[in-house]
Amino acid sequence: MNKTNTKIYKNVSIGNNVSIEEFCIIGKPPQGSADGELETVIEENAVIRSHTVIYAGNRIGQNFATGHHVVIREKNCISSDVSIGTGTCVEHHIEIESGVRIHSHAFIPEYSTLHKNCWIGPNVVITNAKYPRGKNVKTSLKGADIGQSAKIGANTTLLPGVVIGNNSLVGAGSVVAKNIPENVVAYGNPAVVTKEIQHLDEYAK
């Protein structure tokens, strides 16, 4: 583990064979918390690339990887074999199950759930505020629920609270305003279901 030019706060537990590159910040206390007040756990075999910031209160499983300039806010549960691409921002109170792949420059807001083996393309934006700056907006935030093995194409926007069904594919550049059922292909603005996933060519499944 390379700690040169890296800041590691108190109450951070780091497993074996973890690589932390230069200029990372690990266990940063969120506003209102003291250094070490929240435990941060990173299990073995992680690769945390330069300029990544991981706030306190995260629990991160084995074989985790980040690109450069990743920000992960506090109190998330991130399972094993998860990778988060360069320039991506993961907000707080998010559940990310095992095998999830998040590509570069995505935005994952608080109160989102990413189920096992789902795939988030580059520049995907998930939203969680139905009426931004509205009265009591902070108490009604609701991110997306992305099903197991679902795939969200590049530059897609998901509106607050949408559910993407297991094994479905959302085409690049879509705006998803309503729930998408399981095992389908959907795309467009607004995204609509166009076919069942079984009707895609084999190479595209």
pLDDT tens-digit series, residues 47-82 = 999 999 999 999 999 999 999 999 999 999 999 999
Global pTM?
0.94
Task: Name the band, by pLDDT with cuts 50, 70 and 90, for residue 138.
Answer: confident
In this structure, what DSSP letter does residue 180 have?
B
Q: Residue 136: pLDDT above 80? A: yes
pLDDT tens-digit series, residues 171-189 = 999 999 999 999 999 999 9
CA distances from 180 to 30, 70, 108 (A): 34, 29, 18
Which residue segments constitute the domains of the chain, with CATH numbers given?
A: 7-204 (2.160.10.10)
User: Residue ranges of the alpha helices (H) in 70-169?
Assistant: none
- Tell me which residue of 86, 60, 54, 59 sits closest to 73, measured CA to CA: 54
